[in-house]
C-alpha cells in the first residue's frame, strides 16, 4: 500500500543497493515521487519490479566526474536526496601499517572522492529548504580493525558533510550525515547473514522522509544516529559497551 501523493520528489542514489531498495520502498509508501538512480539498467529494472509503486529509474553514475553537468541538464529538482553508495573494499591482515598504498588509493577514490562527487552532483538539485541525507557507518566514529579503510573513508565523509552543512546553512539546504548500525539487506540475507534486531532499509527510508519534511527534533543538527531499530533515531551516538 502506498499513501496518496504528498507532492514531494525524492532522489535515491544507490537505489539498487540494499539500503537504497528499502529506502525507495518506504519513500514510495509515504507518498513521495521517487527517482531511483543506479549504474546498471538491469538491476534497476529488477528493483522496479519489487517495489510497491512506480519509480522513475535513472541509469547514471553520480560519482562520475561528468555527473554534475549531466544531472543538472536532465534531472529536475528535488525536495530530498538520499545518498546510499559505497564500496566496503575488503579486510586486511596485520595492522593499519600493513595496508597497501593501492588499496588506500582505491578506497579513497570510490568512497571519499565518489561521495564528494555525489554531493557536488546532487546538492545543487535540492530545492530551498530541502534536505540531503548521506548514510555512513558507525565505523566513522570508532576504531574499526575489521576494515580500517572503510572506517577512515566514512570518517572523512563525516567531516566533509559537517563542514558542508555549515557552509550551506545560510541557503536553507539541510545536509545530514546519518550514522547507521547494521542493516538487513537482500544481499546479506541471500548470503545467510541476517539478524532481526538490525535495521532495515525501510527504517532508513522512513527516517529520510521525516528528515526531508523536517519533522524531527533539532532539524538543523547535521549528525544523526540510527543504530538500533528498538531505540530509533537519536541525536547522540550510542554509548560504547564494554
Ligand atoms: N548495510 C549496512 O549494514 C551499512 C551500515 C552502515 C553504513 N552502510 C553504508 O551504506 C552504503 C550503502 O550500503 P548498502 O548495504 O546498501 O550497500 P550495497 O548493497 O553494496 O549498495 C551499494 C551501492 O553503492 C553503489 N556503488 C558501489 N560502488 C560504487 C562506485 N564505485 N561508484 C558509484 N556507486 C557505487 C552501488 O550502485 P550500483 O547499483 O550503481 O552498482 C550500490 O547501489 C555503503 O556506503 C555502506 O558502507 C551500510
Task: Determine how β-strand 223-226 pairs with β-strand 174-180.
Answer: parallel
Strand runs labelled E in the chain: 9-13, 33-38, 56-59, 78-83, 126-137, 174-180, 183-184, 199-200, 223-226
Q: How far is the CA of 59 from the centre of ligand 1 (A)?
A: 16
The closest alpha carbon to 153, from 206, 103, 82, belongs to: 103
The cell for 177 is 550525515
For ligand 1, whether the C-beta of 135 sits within 6 Å is yes
Contacts of 236 (CB under 8 A, 6+ apart): 225
Question: What residue owns the CA closest to ligand 1's atom 46?
Answer: 86
For ligand 1, whether the C-beta of 114 sits within 6 Å is yes
The number of beta carbons lying within 10 Å of the beta carbon of residue 192 is 6
Task: Determine how β-strand 78-83 pairs with β-strand 9-13.
Answer: parallel
DSSP 160-191: HHHHHHHHHGGGT-EEEEEEE--EE-HHHHHT
For ligand 1, whether the C-beta of 85 sits within 6 Å is yes
Distance between CA atoms of residues 12 and 84, nearest Å: 7
Distance between CA atoms of residues 206 and 216, nearest Å: 12
Q: What integer pLDDT is reported at residue 46 of this predicted model?
A: 98
Q: What integer pLDDT is reported at residue 191 of this predicted model?
A: 96
Q: What integer pLDDT is reported at residue 39 of this predicted model?
A: 98
For ligand 1, whether the C-beta of 183 sits within 6 Å is yes
Q: How far is the CA of 181 from the centre of ligand 1 (A)?
A: 14
Kindly list the structural domains of the chain, giving each domain's residue range(s) and its CATH number in brackets, ordered by start. Answer: 9-226 (3.40.50.720)
Q: What integer pLDDT is reported at residue 141 of this predicted model?
A: 95
For ligand 1, whether the C-beta of 185 sits within 6 Å is yes
Distance between CA atoms of residues 158 and 140, nearest Å: 7
Q: How far is the CA of 224 from the centre of ligand 1 (A)?
A: 19
Instruction: Give the number of the atom of ligand 1 that is nearest the alpha carbon of residue 198.
Output: 3
Residue 112 contacts residue 153 (beta carbons within 8 Å): yes
Q: How far is the CA of 205 from the centre of ligand 1 (A)?
A: 15
The stretches in the chain having pLDDT less than 70 are: 240-242
Q: How far is the CA of 85 from the centre of ligand 1 (A)?
A: 4
Q: What integer pLDDT is reported at residue 240 of this predicted model?
A: 67
Mutation test of ligand 1: which of 12, 86, 112, 201 has the most ligand atoms closer than 8 Å to its C-beta? 86
The closest alpha carbon to 199, from 214, 213, 179, belongs to: 179
Distance between CA atoms of residues 177 and 108, nearest Å: 18
Amino acid at each position: 500500500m502506498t499513501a496518496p501523493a504528498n507532492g514531494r520528489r525524492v532522489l535515491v542514489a544507490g537505489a539498487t543497493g540494499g539500503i537504497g531498495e528499502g529506502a525507495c520502498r518506504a519513500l514510495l509508501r509515504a507518498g513521495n515521487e521517487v527517482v531511483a538512480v543506479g549504474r546498471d539498467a538491469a538491476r534497476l529494472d529488477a528493483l522496479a519490479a519489487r517495489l510497491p509503486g512506480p519509480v522513475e529509474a535513472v541509469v547514471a553514475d553520480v560519482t562520475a566526474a561528468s555527473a554534475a553537468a549531466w544531472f543538472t541538464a536532465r534531472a529536475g529538482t528535488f525536495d530530498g536526496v538520499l545518498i546510499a553508495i559505497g564500496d566496503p573494499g575488503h579486510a586486511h591482515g596485520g595492522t593499519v601499517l600493513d595496508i597497501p598504498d593501492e588499496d588506500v588509493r582505491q578506497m579513497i577514490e570510490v568512497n571519499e572522492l565518489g561521495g564528494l562527487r555525489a554531493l557536488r552532483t546532487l546538492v545543487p538539485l535540492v530545492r530551498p529548504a530541502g534536505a540531503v541525507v548521506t548514510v555512513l557507518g558507525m565505523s566513522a566514529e570508532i576504531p574499526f580493525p575489521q576494515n580500517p579503510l572503510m572506517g577512515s573513508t566514512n570518517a572523512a565523509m563525516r567531516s566533509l558533510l559537517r563542514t558542508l552543512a555549515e557552509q550551506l546553512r545560510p541557503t536553507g539546504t539541510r545536509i545530514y550525515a546519518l550514522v547507521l548500525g547494521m542493516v538487513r539487506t537482500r544481499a546479506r540475507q541471500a548470503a545467510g547473514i541476517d539478524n532481526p534486531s538490525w535495521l532495515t532499509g525501510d527504517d532508513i527510508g522512513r527516517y529520510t522522509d521525516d528528515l526531508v519534511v523536517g519533522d524531527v527534533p533539532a532539524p538543523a543538527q547535521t549528525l544523526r544516529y540510527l543504530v538500533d531499530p528498538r531505540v530509533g533515531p537519536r541525536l547522540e551516538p550510542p554509548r560504547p559497551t564494554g
